[in-house]
Amino acid sequence: MPIYAAYGSNMHPEQMLQRAPHSPMAGTGWLHGWRLTFGGADITWEGALATIVEDPTSKVFVVLYDVTKEDEENLDRWEGSELGFHKKIRCRVERTSSDTDTEPVLAWLYVLDAWEGGIPSARYLGVMADAAEIAGAPAEYVHDLRTRPAGNVGPGSST
């Protein structure tokens, strides 16, 4: 079964249960040589979306899922792959199997097909931070998500 590496709001177990109900969590890991960033603020009403860019000095926490073909197609629709918002790539992820053991796995993930830059909404960052915390990300990683600059874009905002 293919392994999907989620680094954005799809890290959240409740969201993934809705979007990919037949695809269980398969652990967590780190995507080395990549940096979490945001872009595509013009694509969505809620501000910039999470994406990753290559950066040899960085790493991104990910939640891994064993994804069925049916759920992969459903995720593609959710992520706007048909509309060209995201592209799929494959990367080697260092799966964390315990506090000291790691094993590399090949996983697919979505990257935003848009310019880097823009401010995500506070709600979106909160979902990402909560999801990372639930999955066991280090406290400093969660703190970084919670303290990133955020906008109040969304229903009821004045922007």
Is 39 annotated in some ligand binding site? Answer: no
Residue 50 has pLDDT above 80, yes or no: yes
Task: State the sign of the Cα–Cα–Cα–Cα dihedral 50, 56, 61, 65.
Answer: positive
The CB density around residue 84, as the number of other CB atoms within 10 Å, is 10
Is 4 one of the annotated binding-site residues?
Answer: yes
How, if at all, do strands 25-39 and 86-96 pair? Answer: antiparallel
Per-residue CA distances from 33 to 23, 43, 61, 142 (Å): 27, 26, 12, 19
The answer to whether the annotation marks 121 as part of a ligand binding site is no
Q: Does the annotation place 5 within a ligand binding site?
A: yes
Count CA within 13 A, CB hemisphere, residue 73.
2
Q: How confident is the model at residue 40 (pLDDT cuts 50, 70, 90)?
A: confident
Lowest mean pLDDT among 22-36, 62-76, 100-114, 135-149: 100-114
Domains of the chain: 3-146 (3.10.490.10)
Contacts of residue 22, defined as CB under 8 A and 6 or more positions apart, other chains included, come to 68, 70, 71
Question: Residue 117: how many CB atoms within 10 A of its CB?
Answer: 11
Judge whether 104 and 95 are in contact, CB under 8 Å: yes
Q: What residues are labeled active site?
A: 79
Q: What does the pLDDT read at residue 157?
A: 43
CA distances from 75 to 13, 54, 123 (A): 14, 23, 21
Structure tokens at 10: 């799809």
50 is in an annotated binding site: no
pLDDT value at residue 156: 43
The identity of residue 126, as a single letter, is G
Sort strands 102-112 and 49-66 into parallel, antiparallel or unpaired. unpaired
pLDDT score, position 67:
95
pLDDT for 153 beyond 90: no
